[in-house]
């Protein structure tokens, strides 16, 4: 009897960073372009167990041997959102302004690195193969919506906390138990001058 088990564990970082540029179209509408960098990763283990019947002194008993492979993949994601923001009016020129935003985003996977090791039935480990995993889609489009508030201090520095939701239309990685998430919710804070 042969059984195969696949198990994936995420190894992504939760914090990313980047730059953003905003330009005014009208008093209420602005165009926002950003470039955000984040690191993702996963560890995938495949275990194959083979059970055979062995006979010792006329008695049969099951004998199981196990082999496994461990794949550790890391990559860099560059997200480029292009959004239209609608700003509400503040009561005073220096008061906080809320905004709603919507648009699209494009994602590119770069710098993919993979380390693969295997363990045979005797427990011997063979390490390491460094051929990068091939992503299902190296780039992917997405749709973005969000909301936030812009605060301006007395020196003209703008602090902009916001929340964004992105729906990615294609996964970067997809294989058996490994799949990049389609839905992304993120909180961001920008400092602008």
Could you tell me the CA-to-CA distances from 100 to 11, 35, 83, 146, 192 in Å, in that order? 32, 19, 10, 6, 18
Residue 191: its pLDDT value, please? Answer: 85
Identify which of 51, 75, 50 has the alpha carbon closest to the alpha carbon of residue 136. 75
Q: How far out from the chain centre does Cα 182 lie? A: 9
Residue 128: cis peptide before it, omega within 30 degrees of 0: yes
Tokens of 59: 């008695």
The pLDDT tens digits of the residues spanning 5-55 come to 888 888 888 899 999 999 999 989 999 999 999 999 999 888 888 888 877
Which residues of the chain, if any, have pLDDT below 50?
none
Domain CATH code at residue 76: 2.40.160.20
Domain span holding position 93: 14-40+70-192
Could you tell me the CA-to-CA distances from 71 to 6, 50, 66, 117, 133 in Å, in that order? 11, 21, 17, 7, 9
- The sign of the CA dihedral 58, 59, 60, 64 is negative
Assigned domain for 132 exists? yes
Assigned domain for 20 exists? yes
Identify which of 177, 114, 112 has the alpha carbon closest to the alpha carbon of residue 138. 112
Assigned domain for 51 exists? no
Residue 90: its pLDDT value, please? Answer: 67
Assigned domain for 2 exists? no
Assigned domain for 35 exists? yes
Assigned domain for 1 exists? no
Say how many domains are in the chain: 1
Assigned domain for 25 exists? yes
Assigned domain for 137 exists? yes
């Amino acid at each position: 009897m042969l059984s195969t088990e696949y198990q994936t564990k995420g190894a992504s970082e939760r914090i990313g960073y980047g730059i953003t540029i905003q330009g005014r179209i009208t008093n209420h509408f602005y165009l926002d372009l950003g470039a955000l960098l984040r690191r993702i990763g996963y560890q995938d283990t495949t275990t194959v167990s083979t059970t055979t019947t062995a006979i010792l002194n006329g008695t049969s008993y099951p004998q199981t041997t196990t082999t496994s492979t461990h794949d550790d993949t890391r990559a860099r994601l560059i997200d480029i959102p292009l959004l239209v923001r609608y700003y509400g009016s503040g009561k005073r020129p220096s008061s906080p302004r809320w905004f709603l935003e919507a648009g699209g985003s494009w994602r590119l996977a770069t710098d993919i690195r993979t380390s693969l090791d295997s363990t045979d039935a005797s427990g011997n480990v063979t390490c390491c193969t460094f051929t990068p995993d091939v992503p299902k889609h190296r780039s992917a489009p997405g749709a973005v919506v969000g909301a936030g508030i812009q605060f301006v201090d007395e020196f003209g520095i703008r602090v902009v906390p916001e929340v964004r939701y992105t729906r990615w239309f294609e996964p970067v990685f997809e294989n058996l138990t490994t799949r990049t998430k389609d839905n992304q919710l993120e909180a961001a804070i920008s400092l602008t001058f």
